[in-house]
Amino acid sequence: MVLELHKPRPIWVIMFSTHHTDIGLLYMITSIAFLFLGGTLALAIRAELFFPGAQIIADSMTFNRMFTVHGTTLIFLFILPFAAGVGNYLVPIMVRYKDMAYPKLNAIAFWMIPPAAALVWLGFADFTWYAYPPYSVISAPAPAADMWIFGLKILGVSSVLGAINFIVTILKCKHPDLPLSKLPLFVWSIFTSSLIILVAIPTFAAALLMLLTDRLGVSGFFNPAVGGDPIAYQHLFWFTFHPEVYVLVIPAIGMMYEIIPRFSRKPIFSHSSGVIAFVLLAIVSFASWAHHMYATGMTFTVKTVFMIGTLAAVPASAMHVFNFLATMWGGRIKFTAPMKWSVGGIALFFAAGAGGVVNSAMPLDFITHDTYWVVGHFHLFVMGTIAFGSIAFFYYLFPYITGRMYNEKLADIHFYLSFVGAVMVFFTQHVLGLYGMPRRVFDYPAIPEWIVMNQIATVGAMIMGASMAIFLYNMIYSSAKGKPANMDDPWGLGGKYYYPYQRKNPRH
C-alpha cells in the first residue's frame, strides 16, 4: 500500500518542536551538514599532502587549525549528534512510549550544539583536537583556544543531558509488557553508550576546566614551568576518549543490528550474545585508555595491564561480527543500499580491529606510535565502520522520514566509490606508517615511497568526496521528487522480520 504523502510542515514548526521525531530530524540534518564541512577540511588537508612542501595551505599554523577543526567537527558534531538523532527518532517507538522522558530537556540538549559549533569554527584553534599541554597551556593563541574549550564544554553538557534522557526513557518509560532483555539491540546500543558517556565525559569536563584555569594563570595542573604534569592531562583525556571511541562505534553497530536481519530476511542469530557483547564493550572500554600512552614512561607492569585490557575488547567485538555473519548465512539477502553499506562497514570494522590488535602490543606499538598507521587505524573505525553504518541507516530511514524513495542507482555509485576510496586512503596510511611517516605534519621529506603513498591516499580521498556529492544530490532531489514509497515495506522485503518505524499517525 502506498500511503498518501503529507504536505511538509514549515521548518520553523520542526525547529520549535519538542517531539522526539522532530528533535531526531534536527540532530540528523545538522550532523550531516557537519559531515560535509568536516569532510571539506579533510580534502584540503589531503590535497596539501599530495606533494612535499606548501601547496594550497599557507603555513603550518593554518594547517594545524584546519586539522583541529576537522577532527573536532567529525567526532563531536557529526558522529555523536547523528547517533543521538537516530536514538531520538527510534528509541521511544521501540520502547513503546509517546516521547522521550524529558522532551524539553531533549530540545535543550540539541540547541546547545549550534553555539558550541560556532565557538569551535569561529575560534579555529591550532592545537589539534587533543589539546595536549604544555603547548595548549603556554603557547596556544587566545581567544581561539579558549573558544574551543568553551565549545567542548557545552558539547559535553549536551551529551550528558542526552544520555540521562535516553537512560530514563529506556528504564522508566518502556512498556510494562516489554522486558529489558527483549528490547531491540539498537536500544541496547544507545543504552550502553549512554552509560559510558555518564562515566567518561565528566572526567574530560574536569580536564578542560583545569586546562582553562592553567591558561588563565590561576593554576598549574599541567604547566611544567610551575610544577604541573602534562602527562596527567593525557590520562584524563584518554580516560574519556578511549571509552568515547566505543560511544561512537556502539550505536553504529546497533544500527547494523536493525538492518542486517531485515535485509537477510531472518531473525538475528543471537539476541542475547549481542546484549552481552554491548555490556562487555562498555566495561572494557575503561580498561584500556593508557595504551595510547606506552611512550610516556609507564612501567612495564602498567603497560601489560592496559595491553590485556585492550585485548579484552577483541572477543566482544568478534561476537558482533560473528552475529552479523551468522544472521546473513543462509538468508535471502537483498543487497539494496542499506545492506551494502552495512556489509562494507562490517568488512572495514574487521580490518580496523586487526590494526587495533597491533596497536595494543607493546613492541609493535612503539614502531607505529604517532605514525600514519594510527591515522589509518582510527579512520577505518570512524569512516569505515561508524560513517558506513550511519549512512546505511540514513538510507534505511529515508523512506520513513520523507515518504519517498531515494535513487538506488545513485546510492550504489555512492557506496562503491566510497568503499574504494576508503580502502585507498586508510589502507595506504597503514603502510605509510610502517614506512615511518609521522602523523599531524604539514610537510614531509621528498622520500619517493612517501610521495607515492600520499598521492594514492589523496586520490582516494577525492573519490570519497565525489561520492558524498552524489549522496547529497540524491538525498535532496529524492526528498522532493523521489518515487512515493510503500510505507509498509519500501524495499519489498516482506516477512515477519520486517516492520516499519512509524506510528499509526505519522508526523512526517
357-413 pLDDT per residue, tens? 888 888 888 889 899 999 999 999 999 899 999 999 999 999 988 889 999 999 999
**pLDDT the model gives residue 501:** 47
User: Is the CB of residue 488 less than 8 Å from the CB of residue 506?
Assistant: no
Contact 377, 356 (CB under 8 A): yes
Mean pLDDT of 235-263: 94
Question: What are the Cα distances from residue 244, in Å, to 237, 281, 326, 403?
Answer: 10, 11, 28, 34
C-alpha atoms less than 13 angstroms from C-alpha of 236 in its C-beta half-sphere: 21
Q: Quick check: 126 and 65 in contact, CB under 8 A?
A: yes
Q: Give me the pLDDT at residue 5, please.
A: 40
Does residue 501 belong to any structural domain of this protein? no
**pLDDT tens sequence across 434-453:** 999 999 899 999 999 999 99
Q: How sure is the predictor about 495, in pLDDT bands with cuts at 50, 70 and 90?
A: low
Residues 238-263, mean pLDDT to the nearest whole number = 94
pLDDT digit string (tens) for 154-192? 999 999 999 999 999 999 999 998 899 889 999 999 999
Residue 488, in any domain of the structure: no
Structural domain contains residue 195: yes
Question: Do you find a cis peptide bond into 202, omega within 30 degrees of 0?
Answer: no
Q: Which CATH number goes with the domain that contains 215?
A: 1.20.210.10
Mean of pLDDT values over 13-30: 91
In whole angstroms, give the CA distance from residue 364 to residue 369: 8
- pLDDT, one tens digit per residue, over 72-95 is 999 999 999 999 999 999 999 999
DSSP 424: I
The number of beta carbons lying within 10 Å of the beta carbon of residue 130 is 16
Question: Would the pTM of this model clear 0.85, i.e. be above it?
Answer: yes
> 498 in a domain, yes or no?
no
Share of the chain above pLDDT 90, in %: 79
Structure confidence at residue 286 as a pLDDT band (50, 70, 90): very high
- Summary mean pLDDT of the chain: 91
Q: Does pLDDT of 505 surpass 80?
A: no
14 pLDDT above the threshold of 90: no
For the residues 124-151, what does the mean pLDDT come to? 94
309-334, pLDDT tens digit by residue?
A: 888 888 999 999 999 999 999 989 99
Dihedral angle sign, alpha carbons of residues 139, 144, 146, 150? negative
Nearest to 394 by CA among 328, 346, 445, 338: 338
Q: Which residues face 438 on adjacent strands?
A: 371
Residue 2 clears pLDDT 60, i.e. is over it: no
Q: How far is CA 37 from each of CA 13, 71, 244, 408, 491, rounded to the nearest angstrom?
A: 26, 11, 22, 25, 31
The reply to whether 67 falls in a domain is yes
Cell of 199: 562515566
Q: What percent of the chain has pLDDT over 70?
A: 95
At 496 the pLDDT is 55
Please report which confidence band the pLDDT of residue 353 belongs to, taking 50, 70 and 90 as the band edges. Answer: confident
| Rounded (5°) CA angle 253-68-222 | 100
Query: Cβ contacts of residue 145 below 8 Å, gap of 6+?
Result: 123, 125, 126, 127, 131, 136, 215
Residue 289 falls within a domain, yes or no? yes
Handedness of CA 285, 290, 293, 295 (dihedral sign): negative
pLDDT attached to residue 8: 55
First to last CA, the chain: 17
Residue 279 confidence (pLDDT): 95
Domain count, the chain: 1
- Lowest mean per-residue pLDDT among 16-20, 35-39, 104-108, 193-197: 16-20
Quote the CA–CA distance of 189 and 130 in Å, as a whole number. Answer: 26
Compute the distance between CA of residue 278 and CA of residue 274 in angstroms, rounded to an integer.
Answer: 6
pLDDT band at 6 (very low <50, low <70, confident <90, very high): very low
Q: Give a yes or no: residue 295 inside a domain.
A: yes
Summary count for the chain: helices (H), strands (E): 20, 0
* d(C-alpha 81, C-alpha 77), whole Å: 6
Residue 85 is predicted with a pLDDT of 95
Residue 65's domain spans which residues?
11-331+338-481
Residue 499 lies in a domain: no
Question: What's the pLDDT score for residue 500?
Answer: 46
The separation between CA 242 and the C-alpha centre of its own chain, rounded to angstroms, equals: 13
Please report the pLDDT score of residue 362 as a whole number.
Answer: 86
